[in-house]
């Protein structure tokens, strides 16, 4: 049987990696921090604090943020509430790969982040960069520890990297990835992986490192799920690795927002598919946003789903959606109409 070299160690892929006990969040229902960073539009500190508090009161205990979300703003806002909760009572993830650099009124062309930004940034996927990034995040959050760490936006679709993806991946493979494995072994974190919007970097990382959990955004929703389902899920299942689904509502597209994901465009066919999904939902008196969240949470490989919210009402609606009973006939019609793959796991209420 062949050997797999991971972080400088020879490991038998079948015997060692498949038997590894990997960290998974306790609850699948989560809260994503893009909106807290003024994603798409400016939100007040107070409204964001209310949203996190409302999610907590509704039972949410899985929270995800990033230095990149508002260039520090999301972490500050999320930590403002979480710092006062018992640390063992919730699971928190943040990200590494960009270091924030103080800069008054930093401006970005066509930025997703609105409001006043007082930090610039630079990419750094080295071992020392990971350590510094996490120390900075703890300061912004006001917390003593972080459970899961995702190497952020290390993906060919990241146009900000221009033609440097291969360079940065090599930097991470020799720096961030083994360093995060060491931090896991030291007990500083519980698990790590990538936080990306495409499947290729996930598959590439599985070849060179020993991750625990991936945050896969934009790849497992009612609109788009084929690659995640058929390419990623079987691979991670072999090694006991789990997936946290980001953008389960396609940045609000499945919840009535006139936008699809993050680049301001609508790919061919997505509006037509949305209309078809709405029609099936109407046939069964089902709320499509609720169905979308439950769909993303259904696979065994999925350990978390993290829709965002910037109001208390949104946070409560999202949390409650995970507990609604949806008739099996709804899912059957989606498969009959070929709106979801035939092999998609679906909730069984």
Q: Which positions are annotated as active-site residues?
A: 64, 69, 95
Q: What is the dihedral of CA 81, 253, 213, 312, to 10 degrees?
A: 20
Distance from C-alpha of 338 to C-alpha of 332, rounded to nearest angstrom:
10
What 8-state DSSP symbol labels residue 308? B
Give the bridge partners for 305, in sequence order: 29, 245
Q: Which residue has the tokens 């290390």?
A: 154
Q: Which residues pair with 32 in a beta bridge?
A: 64, 308
Q: Could you write out the three-class secondary structure of 187-203?
A: CCCCEEEEEECCCHHHH
| Per-residue DSSP letter, 250 | T
Return phi, psi of residue 21, to 5°: -85, 115
What's CA 200's distance to the chain center, in Å? 16
- Among 239, 210, 217, smallest CA distance to 5 is for 210
Q: How many Cβ atoms from other residues are within 10 Å of residue 93's Cβ?
A: 29
């Amino acid at each position: 049987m062949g050997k797999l070299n991971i972080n400088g160690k020879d490991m038998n892929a079948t015997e060692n990696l498949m038997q590894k006990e990997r960290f998974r969040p306790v609850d699948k229902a989560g809260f994503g921090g893009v909106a807290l960073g003024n994603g798409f539009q400016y939100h007040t500190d107070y409204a964001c604090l209310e949203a996190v508090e409302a999610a907590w009161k509704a039972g949410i205990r899985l929270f995800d943020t990033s230095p990149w979300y508002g260039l520090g703003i999301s972490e500050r806002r999320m930590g403002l509430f979480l710092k006062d909760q018992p640390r063992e009572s919730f699971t928190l993830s943040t990200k590494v790969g960009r270091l924030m650099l103080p800069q008054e009124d930093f401006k970005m062309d066509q930025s997703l982040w609105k409001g006043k930004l007082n930090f610039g940034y630079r990419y750094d996927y080295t071992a020392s960069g990971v350590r510094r990034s996490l120390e900075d995040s703890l300061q912004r959050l006001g917390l003593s520890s972080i459970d899961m760490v995702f190497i952020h936006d290390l993906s060919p679709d990241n146009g900000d990297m221009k033609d440097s993806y291969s360079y940065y991946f090599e930097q991470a493979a020799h720096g961030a990835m083994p360093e995060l494995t060491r931090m896991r072994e030291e007990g500083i974190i519980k698990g790590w992986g990538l936080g990306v919007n495409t499947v290729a970097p996930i598959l590439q990382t599985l070849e060179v490192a020993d991750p625990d959990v991936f945050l896969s955004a934009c790849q497992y929703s009612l609109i788009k799920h084929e690659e995640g389902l058929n390419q990623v899920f079987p691979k991670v299942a072999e090694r006991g690795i789990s997936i946290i689904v980001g953008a389960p509502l396609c940045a609000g597209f499945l919840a009535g927002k006139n936008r699809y994901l993050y680049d301001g465009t609508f790919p061919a066919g997505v509006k037509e598919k949305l209309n078809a999904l709405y029609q099936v939902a109407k046939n069964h008196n089902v709320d499509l946003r609720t169905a979308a969240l439950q769909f993303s949470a259904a696979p065994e490989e999925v350990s978390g789903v993290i829709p965002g919210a910037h109001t208390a009402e949104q946070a409560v609606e999202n949390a409650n959606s995970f507990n609604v009973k949806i008739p099996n006939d709804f899912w059957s019609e989606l498969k009959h109409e070929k709106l979801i793959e035939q092999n998609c796991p679906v909730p069984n209420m």
